[in-house]
Chain A
Amino acid sequence: MKTHHAIATLAVALAASVAAPAAHAQAAGNLREVIGQALAGAGIGKENTVLVQRMLSVKPGAPFSAAFDPLLAARAADPRTRLTADPECSRQKLPGNDPFAVNERCLYRFGEPTGQDATAVQLRFSRQTGKFSYLHRTRSFDANRMADNKVPADAAREAALKLARSFGLPPEEIDTKFVQVLDLNVAAEPVQQAPGAAAVGERIVKRAEVHVRVPRRLGDWPVFDSGFMVAFGDDGSGRPRPSRLNGRWPDFGLLLPAVQSDEVFSDADLLARMVEDLSPEIRLPLDPKTTRAFIAFVQAAEFTKCAVTGDGGDDDAGGAGGHTRPQDLLRLFVPAVVFFAVPPDPGEMKETKLAPSTGVLQRSYPLIRLGARLCDGSV
Chain B
Amino acid sequence: MKRSPARFRIGMAAAVLASVTALSGVARANHLEARMIGVSTWDAECPANTLTYWDDMVRFWYDEMPSWGWYHKAGATVDGNLNATKFCDPDFNGSCQDYNYIDDADAVMIFMHGFDAGDVWGGALRRNNGVGSDCNITFPQGAGADVIHAGDVDLEWMHMSSCNSLDKDNLPNSWRAFEDPVDSPSNHNRLHGLTGFHGFMWIGGCCDDQYEDFAADAHWVSVKDAWMDNMYVTGINGSSTQCPVSYAVGTNASDCFNRIDHERYNNVFSDPGTIGYYCYYYYPGCDPEGEGPF
Contacts and interface: CB of A to CB of B under 8 A. Distances in A.
B253 A120 contact: no
B292 interface: no
Interface string A3-29: 001100100110010000000000000
Contacts of B91: none
Nearest to A131: B209
A358 interface: yes
Interface in B224-264: 225, 228-230, 232, 234-240, 242, 249, 252-254, 256-258, 260-262
B213 A354 contact: no
A135 B51 contact: no
Q: Which of A9, A16, A222 has the most CB of B within 10 A?
A: A9
Given A222-B237, A343-B49, A192 B217 contact: no
Given A115-B267, A178-B238, A195 B141 contact: yes
A143 interface: yes
A184 B290 contact: no
B261 A282 contact: no
A362 B266 contact: no
Q: Which of B209, B220, B253 has the most CB of A within 10 A?
A: B220
Nearest to B248: A188
A192 B239 CA distance: 36
Contacts of A182: 232, 283, 286
Interface string B102-134: 000000000011111111001110001000111
Nearest to B146: A2
B206 A2 contact: no
Contacts of A202: 253
Contacts of B236: 215, 222, 224, 294, 296, 338
A191 B276 contact: yes
B80 interface: no
Q: Which of A9, A114, A182, A362 has the most CB of B within 10 A?
A: A114
Contacts, number: 269
Interface in A162-210: 178, 180, 182-192, 194-195, 199, 201-202, 204, 208
Contacts of B27: 113-114
Nearest to A290: B289
Interface stretch (A148-156, A268-276, A318-326, A345-353): A345-353
B279 A358 contact: no
Given A5-B138, A363-B204, A357 B222 contact: no
A102 interface: no
Given A113-B21, A225-B206, A246 B117 contact: no
A201 B277 contact: yes
Interface in A313-365: 338, 340, 342-343, 345-347, 353-364
Contact of A355 (B115, B242, B276): B115
A215 B234 CA distance: 10
B201 interface: yes
A194 B141 CA distance: 9
Contact of B114 (A1, A183, A302, A357): A357
A160 interface: no
Given A135-B221, A190-B276, A340 B235 contact: yes
Contacts of A248: 209
- Return the 6 tightest CB-CB contacts between A and B, nearest first: A362-B204, A356-B113, A143-B257, A356-B124, A188-B279, A188-B253
Given A131-B213, A211-B228, 16 more contacts: A1-B138, A5-B122, A117-B262, A133-B216, A140-B221, A142-B257, A187-B280, A189-B277, A190-B253, A222-B236, A229-B229, A229-B232, A347-B47, A358-B163, A359-B203, A360-B201
6 contacts: A131-B209, A185-B281, A185-B283, A195-B141, A345-B113, A356-B123
